[in-house]
């Protein structure tokens, strides 16, 4: 394998690994804030117990997300130094905004939330977790602004003298149509993940307690968490569907090759169907591909809103791209502008398919908890455990489709203009980092991430099976039952978990 293949493999592996933790943090922070808000407003102790329980899981996930995210920054300057040289003037701005306006706020207020349970008044302490929740989502906005610019460059010009893209309109970068389609889809997917996480764990505990004869505790503590998770899943599921539909239509305009590759559509057709299965050679040759179990016109509808609209095939798009861009390989032959059809076709379907796991849990959990009921059905407990993984897998396959479907571009051309602001992936890799260096770091990261995965799982498992505490006391200074220690101001902050 050459340095390009290894660099792509390393970036893909580390990015997908990091993104496992991202949607849970984005979605769970607001849910923990909602739980604490209900406690502050109602004074019901069970919501304080739920806040502490899910807050502990949030902190574990947040910590490993930060650790794995740092690696991404280093890869830009090392394995992908040519890419960074080309886009650094544009790409660096939203990343700097993410650090200054979002991550620093997020980490600062998270520290106040962790250590401030017995130091801050309840409403001030509540404000800190809401600051964390808002800044977490703001962080996602700036990261997506950078990624969306790679999908659809705007607000930049090509400087022929320096050979770089240079930003001339930060407003255009932050109002990019691709960004405002991707952001709602990513955020609603994160809420779907967090809702599934809360409902899945709470449903498993509910079943366990009912079967152990502790029906009152199951009804009083865990059923409200199940209901909250189910409501979030229903709302987020609708949001994912609507925003995904908008993204698909925009993708058809901006990256038609990606949309056609999602269906492995080799030839241009009117009213393109959506297939559940394709057999044959899903390589770039596109020979002998047969679609089985089709929904007539659905792909055309997803792309344009018209069930009979024509959709260009990848072979016709290949010819158009050859005429427009004219890149050739070392032998002088036109390069392939088609992504790997097998990956794009199946990642698109796996994204949708795994998303149905959350839908199944939402429907069954709603049914067994209706009208104040609780359930001890082992099937619900098993479904809760299985469904926990499905939104994480759906999000991961969604990112695989988004990034692999853009190939061979690392900065995809804007079909409506911005001449020259595009970059092939093969031109973005470093010219001085050797294959051996990349392979060594890839092996090191694989081993390190494997160790981190073990620690993450053991910590999440340990605190999940401990369950919600039997009681929690309000330690805030505005609780009249607390005696104020005159020496409290001199004591160091204590970790509340």
Instruction: Kindly write down the DSSP assignment for every residue of 377-392, as one continuous string.
Output: -HHHHHHHHHHHHHHH
Please report whether residue 495 resides in a domain: no
Q: Which residues contact 241 (CB under 8 A, 6 or more apart)?
A: none
Say yes or no: 452 and 308 in one domain: no
- For residue 228, the SS3 value is helix
Per the CB < 8 A criterion, the answer to whether 232 and 195 are in contact is yes
Say yes or no: 298 and 346 in one domain: no
Say yes or no: 278 and 386 in one domain: no
Please report whether residue 496 resides in a domain: no
Final residue in a domain of this structure, among 282, 310, 337: 337
Query: Looking at the 3D structure of the chain, how many domains does it have?
Result: 2
pLDDT tens digits for the chain (497 residues)? 788 999 999 999 888 898 899 999 999 999 999 999 999 999 999 999 999 999 999 999 999 988 888 888 788 888 899 999 999 889 888 988 988 888 889 889 999 999 998 889 999 999 999 999 999 999 999 999 999 999 999 999 999 888 899 999 999 999 999 999 999 999 999 999 999 999 999 999 999 999 998 999 999 999 999 999 999 999 999 999 999 999 999 999 999 999 888 888 888 888 888 888 877 777 666 777 778 888 888 888 988 888 988 889 888 999 999 998 889 888 888 999 999 888 998 999 999 999 999 999 999 999 999 988 988 899 999 999 999 999 999 999 999 999 999 999 999 999 887 778 899 999 999 989 899 999 998 999 889 999 999 999 999 999 999 999 888 877 788 777 776 555 555 555 555 55
Distance CA 86, CA 159 (A): 10
Say yes or no: 14 and 120 in one domain: yes
Say yes or no: 189 and 281 in one domain: no
Final residue in a domain of this structure, among 291, 313, 337: 337
Final residue in a domain of this structure, among 314, 337, 360: 337
pLDDT in tens, 166-225: 999 999 999 999 999 999 999 999 999 999 999 999 999 999 999 998 999 999 999 999
What range defines the domain where residue 375 resides? 3-255+339-490
pLDDT in tens, 409-436: 999 999 887 778 899 999 999 989 899 9
Q: Which residues contact 285 (CB under 8 A, 6 or more apart)?
A: none
Per the CB < 8 A criterion, the answer to whether 421 and 153 are in contact is yes
Please report whether residue 463 resides in a domain: yes
DSSP string covering 179-225: HHHHHHHHHHHHHHHHHHHHHHHHHHHHHHHHHTT-HHHIIIIIHHH
Please report whether residue 497 resides in a domain: no
Say yes or no: 359 and 307 in one domain: no
Q: Which residues contact 240 (CB under 8 A, 6 or more apart)?
A: 185, 188, 189, 192, 355
Say yes or no: 251 and 364 in one domain: yes
- Asked whether the whole model's pTM tops 0.95, one would answer no
Say yes or no: 293 and 440 in one domain: no
Please report whether residue 216 resides in a domain: yes
Task: State the DSSP code for 120.
Answer: S
Say yes or no: 344 and 317 in one domain: no
Say yes or no: 306 and 396 in one domain: no
Say yes or no: 329 and 365 in one domain: no
Distance CA 479, CA 43 (A): 11
Say yes or no: 435 and 399 in one domain: yes
Please report whether residue 103 resides in a domain: yes
Please report whether residue 378 resides in a domain: yes
Per the CB < 8 A criterion, the answer to whether 82 and 430 are in contact is yes
Please report whether residue 462 resides in a domain: yes
If we measure between CA atoms, which residue out of 71, 59, 61, 145 comes closest to residue 101? 145
């Amino acid at each position: 394998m050459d340095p390009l293949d290894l660099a792509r493999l390393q970036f893909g592996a580390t990015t997908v690994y990091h993104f496992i933790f991202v949607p849970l943090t984005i979605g769970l922070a607001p849910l923990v804030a909602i739980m604490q808000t209900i406690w502050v407003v109602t004074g019901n102790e069970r919501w304080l117990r739920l806040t502490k329980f899910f807050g502990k899981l949030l902190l574990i996930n947040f910590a490993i997300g930060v650790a794995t995210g740092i690696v991404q920054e280093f890869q830009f300057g090392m394995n992908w130094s040519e890419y960074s040289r080309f886009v650094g003037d544009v790409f660096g701005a939203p990343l700097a905004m993410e650090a200054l306006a979002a991550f620093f706020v997020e980490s600062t207020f998270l520290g106040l939330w962790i250590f401030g349970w017995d130091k801050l008044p309840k409403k001030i302490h509540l404000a800190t977790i809401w600051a964390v929740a808002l800044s977490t989502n703001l962080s996602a906005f700036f990261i997506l602004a950078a990624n969306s610019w790679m999908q659809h460059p705007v607000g930049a010009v090509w400087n022929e003298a320096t050979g770089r893209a240079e930003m001339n309109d930060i407003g255009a970068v932050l109002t990019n149509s691709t960004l405002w389609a991707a952001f709602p889809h990513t955020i609603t997917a994160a809420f779907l993940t967090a809702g599934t996480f809360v409902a899945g764990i709470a449903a498993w505990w509910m079943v366990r307690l009912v079967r152990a004869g502790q029906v009152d505790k199951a009804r009083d503590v865990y059923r409200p968490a199940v209901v909250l998770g189910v409501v979030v899943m229903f709302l987020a599921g609708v949001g994912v569907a609507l925003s995904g539909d908008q993204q698909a239509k925009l993708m058809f305009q901006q990256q038609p090759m990606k949309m056609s590759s999602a269906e492995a559509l080799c030839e241009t057709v009117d009213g393109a169907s959506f297939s559940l299965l394709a057999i044959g050679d899903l390589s770039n040759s596109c020979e002998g591909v047969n679609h089985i179990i089709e929904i007539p016109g659905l792909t055309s509808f997803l792309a344009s809103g018209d069930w009979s609209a024509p959709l260009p095939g990848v072979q016709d798009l290949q010819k158009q791209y050859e005429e427009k861009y004219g890149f050739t390989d070392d032998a002088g032959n036109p390069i392939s502008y088609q992504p790997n059809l097998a990956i794009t076709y199946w990642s698109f379907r796996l994204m949708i398919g795994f998303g149905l796991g959350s839908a199944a849990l939402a429907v069954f959990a709603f049914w067994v908890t209706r009208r104040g009921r609780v359930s001890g059905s082992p099937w619900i407990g098993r479904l809760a455990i299985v469904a926990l993984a499905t939104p994480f897998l759906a999000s991961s396959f969604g990112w695989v489709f988004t990034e692999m479907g853009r190939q061979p571009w690392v900065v995809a051309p804007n079909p409506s203009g911005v001449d020259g602001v595009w970059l092939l992936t093969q031109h973005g890799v470093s010219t001085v980092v050797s294959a051996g260096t990349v392979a060594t770091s890839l092996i090191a990261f694989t081993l390190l991430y494997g160790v981190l995965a073990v620690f993450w799982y053991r910590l999440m498992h340990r605190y999940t099976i401990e369950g919600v505490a039997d009681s929690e006391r309000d330690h805030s200074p505005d609780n009249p039952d607390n005696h104020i220690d005159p020496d409290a101001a001199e004591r160091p902050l204590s970790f509340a978990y």
